[in-house]
Amino acid sequence: MIALRNIARKKTRSILTAFGAAVGIMILSTLISVSEGIKGQIEDAIQIYQIDLAVQSKSASSPFGSRVSAADYESLSDIEGIENVSSLVIGAVKTSWSSYFVIMGIAPVEVFTERLNILEGSMLGAGKPEILLGRIAAEAADAGVGGRLTLSEHEEYGVTGIYTSGSNMLDNAAVLNITDAQRILKRQGFVNLALVRLARGASLGDVADRIETRLPGLSVVRSGDFAGQISWIQVADTSAWAISLIALIGSCIVVMNTLVMAVSERTKEIGILMAIGWSRARIMRTIIWESLIICFIGGLLGNLLGVILLWGLQFVHPAGLWLWISASGVPRIVLMSMGISLLLGALSSLYPAFLSTRLLPAEALRRE
């Protein structure tokens, strides 16, 4: 194939150009993987605990800033179509083993606790200064069942159990009695979220409408849409695509510059091809194929580098970022980024291919 032969002529330049395309694809695949991992971790947690609706205050941009009063929380149980409601207080504290340690407060008697998968020990006891540690948190704090931890204001909590959920985010957190969490996080008198499970046959839309009509200060989010409604996740998602777009534009310029140089160097050759009967369309296809091949190789390299970078993030644990990384969406992201790399190749070839059609055979043959 002529396109492959042309690429092989200047091996070093072709390799460097492919790496230029690979950088853009690497940034794209890495940032999107982290962004998707954030949403995936939250969606997985919602599915694990079989939550149909999440209720928070209408003005809140995230669960951390939500305030559902005790009166509104109690009123939810009386709404038709709701089987049960569980409360959740959530926030973060600074500890000796983590600068951002998430704690969750629950009522031991509520249905939500039934979904906690206890690996060792037992559930929290009502009214006792006890704590459940996620599997990852227990390793980070070097604590086991029967040990004691200090979270805030020199308050010690006995480790009564270790749980796992399959979500890195939840497994690096701790569960306390709701009154303890409210005191530590200074959220007495309200909860962050009300987690609703519907009665069999109840309509999500109807129940959501009833809640928002009866309790206008609350906002209802379906479990599958919950992650997308959190403002800082939306910001992270938008930022990932914005940075990726800038990187891809840079890669496009690199590939385009290489192809313009190639067309300039092969002016006389192009003139000969046109003189022996090659059409301008065929010459354009050759340039486009060169760009597609280079960017395809760049896509493969970029995805490989992205996977290595994600693995590195998990290995070095930078500020807990690795907790948000999920491998579940990587195959889909790889396919998407390979498609974008081919689109990058097509766009990069447009101007060089257009230049090749502007050449006149007689002038091209005289070019040295």
* Residuewise pLDDT in 10s, the chain (368 residues): 677 777 777 788 888 899 999 999 999 888 888 777 777 666 666 666 667 888 888 877 777 788 888 888 888 888 888 888 888 888 888 888 787 788 888 876 565 666 677 888 888 877 778 898 988 888 888 888 888 888 876 678 889 989 887 677 778 888 888 888 888 888 888 888 888 888 888 888 888 888 888 888 888 877 666 655 566 667 777 888 888 899 999 999 999 988 888 877 777 777 777 777 778 788 888 889 989 999 999 999 999 998 888 777 666 655 555 455 555 567 888 899 999 999 999 999 888 888 877 765 555 555 55
Query: How many structural domains does the chain have?
Result: 2
Separation CA 283–CA 237 (nearest Å): 40
Any domain includes 50: no
Does 152 share its domain with 272? Answer: no
Q: Print burial letters for 192-217: b (CB count within 10 Å at least 16), e (below 16).
A: bbbbbbbeeebebeebbebbeeebee
* Strand 68-69 versus strand 190-191 pairing type: antiparallel
The H or E element that residue 218 is part of is strand 218-222
Give one word for 121, left, alpha or beta, with left for phi > 0 and alpha for psi -120 to 50. left
Whether residue 174 is found in the same domain as residue 266: no
Residues 177 and 273 occupy one common structural domain: no
Do 155 and 89 lie in a common domain? yes
Residue 222 lies in a domain: no
